[in-house]
Structure formats: C-alpha cells, structure tokens
Amino acid sequence: MTPAIRRFPDLPALTEAALAAVARIAREAVAARGVFTIALSGGSTPMPLYAAMAGRGFGAPFASTVFFFGDERVVPVGDRRSNFGAIAPVLFTPSPIPVGNIHPMPVEVRPLELAAATYEDEVREVLGGGADVSGALPRLDLVLLGMGPDGHTASLFPDRPALGETRRLVVAMEPPTTVEPRVARLTFTLPLLNAARNVLFLVGAKGKEEPLAAALHGPPDPHVPASLVRPTDGGLEWLIGEG
Ligand code: 6PG
C-alpha cells in the first residue's frame, strides 16, 4: 500500500493534523465495533498529541478506548526513560480513562521473553485473533509510530533478526547500539504492526532526512526498519514536521 504523506511546517501543525486523524479513525472504530483500540508510541514527537487527546478529546469516549503500547524501554515506570511513565501524566492522569482500559507492557517480568509472551497474550485476549499467526491476527484500529535517526520504529532496530519474525507478535530486544537510551526493550513485531487497520507515523524530519527518504520512497529494507511497515489491509499515513 502506498503511504499518504503530509508535511507540516512545525510540530503544532503536525499535532493538529494528528489529532484530526486519530479522531476520524476513533469515530469509525466506535461506529463499527463499539470500541477504539490504539497502540501508543514513545518518543517526544507525539507528546503534544497525547496532551491534546486528554484535553480536547479524540472522537471516541474515553471509556470506549483501549490503550496499548507499541514498545517500551525496560526500566522501572518511575524512570524518566519509561514510555509509560512519560505518557501517563500527560494522557491518562488528566482523563477519565478506566484503569482497565490501559495496558502497559509488563517490564517487571523476567525473563524478558516471558514479559513479551505475557503482553502478546494480553493483546490476543483483548483484541481476539487466532491462536497463532497462521490464523487471523489481532488488529488494532490504530498504531501510532515514530522513527529514529537510524530508521528504527517502535523498538525494531536496524538489521536485527527480529525484523524477520513471523510468529511472535511481541518480542524482547537487546539494547540498541545506534540510539539512546541503550536499554533493553519490548516491542511489537512487524506481523502485529502490519495487521493494524491504520498506522500513523509522526516524525520530525530534522536529522532524519536519509532514513525518511528511504522509508518513504525506497524498497523495504531491514537497514531502515520503518520501511518494513506496510499494513497488509490497512491505512498507512506519514505526518512529517519540517520545523
Ligand atoms: C521509543 C519509541 C521510538 C520513537 C522514535 C522517535 O520508545 O523510543 O517508540 O520508536 O518513536 O525513536 O522518537 P522521537 O519522536 O523522540 O524522535
């Protein structure tokens, strides 16, 4: 599927467009299935979107929205590097979201392979889908993603064997060598990302020009993991901030 690409002069303009896109997808999901399921991205770019979602709403009732995380850094929730820890005070604390609708990744579980399998079970339990990827995959209504300067997305880093994963939906990842923070991660795999009904990338272009060109216009390339996100039967949109 060819991605829709929209460019914006700065982060506030990108955020407005992102909020409108989330609201459109959320309304469609609630009308069709009575619930809106979304996987959140870490990183700095989506933070103003999360604040806007909490403050202005996003097209679906809070009580009808289920939140997952597309990736997480394996650090305690109170650590400043935690995605959940960064997002919760911006999006969850100010909103009347039932706590049962929020699904943080279980970073405290060891070994990390068990943490990944536990989260995969949680995704399957909430979203349904077949018992393995030969059956129907769980489908999120929306997966938000970012892209790092090395082309990574979620916590799928360049040239890692996990990029070839076909069976597991969530995996543990060794710390990256290309970007900070250099801590282990849990991450959705490509089969789960590409099963989504909609994928929305939010990316500030500065310092990422090369991987951006490769992801948008090049062939699928494990050296630029974002280029491997191509939803099988879903929408793909890139919102790019030039400022
Ligand atoms: C993470 C992210 C990661 C992020 C990109 C872009 O946990 O680090 O989920 O994939 O989206 O690194 O981050 P920025 O928005 O800060 O550029």
pLDDT in tens, 92-142: 998 999 999 999 999 999 999 999 999 999 999 999 865 554 568 999 999
Q: Is the pLDDT of residue 57 over 90?
A: yes
Give yes or no for residue 240 having a pLDDT over 80.
Answer: yes
Among 81, 5, 2, 1, CA closest to 238: 5
Q: According to the model, what pLDDT value does residue 1 have?
A: 66
- Ligand 1 pocket member 154 (CB < 6 A): yes
Task: Answer yes or no: is the C-beta of 48 below 6 A from any ligand 1 atom.
Answer: no
CATH at residue 29 = 3.40.50.1360
CA of 203 to the centre of ligand 1 (A): 9
DSSP category for residue 28:
H
pLDDT at 86: 97
Question: pLDDT tier at 2 (50, 70, 90 boundaries)?
Answer: confident
- How close is the Cα of 135 to the center of ligand 1, in Å? 30
pLDDT recorded at residue 84: 98
For residue 74 the two structure tokens come to: 């394996």
> Mean pLDDT across the chain, nearest whole number?
96
Question: 46 by DSSP, 3-state: which?
Answer: coil
pLDDT at 224 over 90: yes
What are the b/e assignments for 36-72, b being 16+ CB within 10 Å? bbbbbbbbebbbbbbebbbeeebbbebebbbbbbbbb
- Ligand 1 atom with the shortest distance to the CA of 46: 15
How many separate domains does the chain show? 1
Hey, what are 16's tokens?
A: 């407005």
Say if residue 75's pLDDT is above 90. Answer: yes
Which domain range does residue 190 map to?
4-241
136-177 per-position pLDDT tens digit: 899 999 999 999 999 999 999 999 999 999 999 999 999 999
| pLDDT, tens only, 163-214 | 999 999 999 999 999 999 999 999 999 999 999 999 999 999 999 999 999 9
User: 3-class SS at 131?
Assistant: coil
pLDDT of residue 217: 96
Taking the centre of ligand 1 as the mean of its atom positions, its distance from the CA of residue 71, in whole angstroms, is: 9
CB-based burial of residue 149 (10 Å sphere; 0-12 exposed, 13-18 middle, 19+ buried)? middle
